[in-house]
Amino acid sequence: MKNLVLILVLCILASCQTLAGALGGGVGGGIGAALGGPPAAAIGAVGGVIAMESLVGGATPTDKVAAATGQPQGQVASAAREAGSLLHTVGWWYLILFVLLPLLTKKGRTWIKKFTSIHNSVSKQDIDDLVENTVSKKDVDDHAERLHKLEGFLSSIKPKNKS
């Protein structure tokens, strides 16, 4: 069933422009992933789309309308718009697949429970104990002054010469 739906979608959307962008993005993303992981895959996909747009080109009705309204036109401007749209879409999918979806799994739910229990476990008694065990700056300065006096006293003592 999946194959039938995939073939149907490809037949409906099959045009050189559509397939070229998809092919360029896929190849660029694959090369980027092989070279440097997910960030490089995103950059490689954008590069692949831009490369295929510049190779295939062609004026679509959208480009003609954009030219008539005074918007930037040409292959580079079109590729830049497409790259921006691709990055926007990839960003949302990354957020959904790698940030939000894992929070719905069992590990994600236990992580959320532990995270909230850490913040809820701090009580007033813990804060009072922390304040009670702290030292003021004045006490630290007094101790430092006493140590300096003791060091001065010890350095002034001359050892006896044993002859």
Question: How high is the pLDDT of residue 11?
Answer: 59
Do 56 and 17 contact (CB within 8 A), yes or no?
yes
Of residues 126 and 103, more confidently modeled: 103
**For the chain, how many residues are written?**
163
Percent of the chain clearing pLDDT 90 (strictly above): 8
| C-alpha dist (Å) from residue 123 to 61, 110, 130, 148 | 65, 22, 11, 40
- Looking at the predicted structure, is the pLDDT value of residue 58 above 60? no
Residue type, position 153, single letter: F
Residue located via tokens 């036109």: 73
Q: Cα–Cα–Cα angle for 109, 114, 119, nearest 5°? A: 130
Give the C-alpha separation, 49 to 5, whole Å: 24
- Looking at the predicted structure, is the pLDDT value of residue 97 above 90? no
Round the average pLDDT of the chain to a whole number and report it. 77
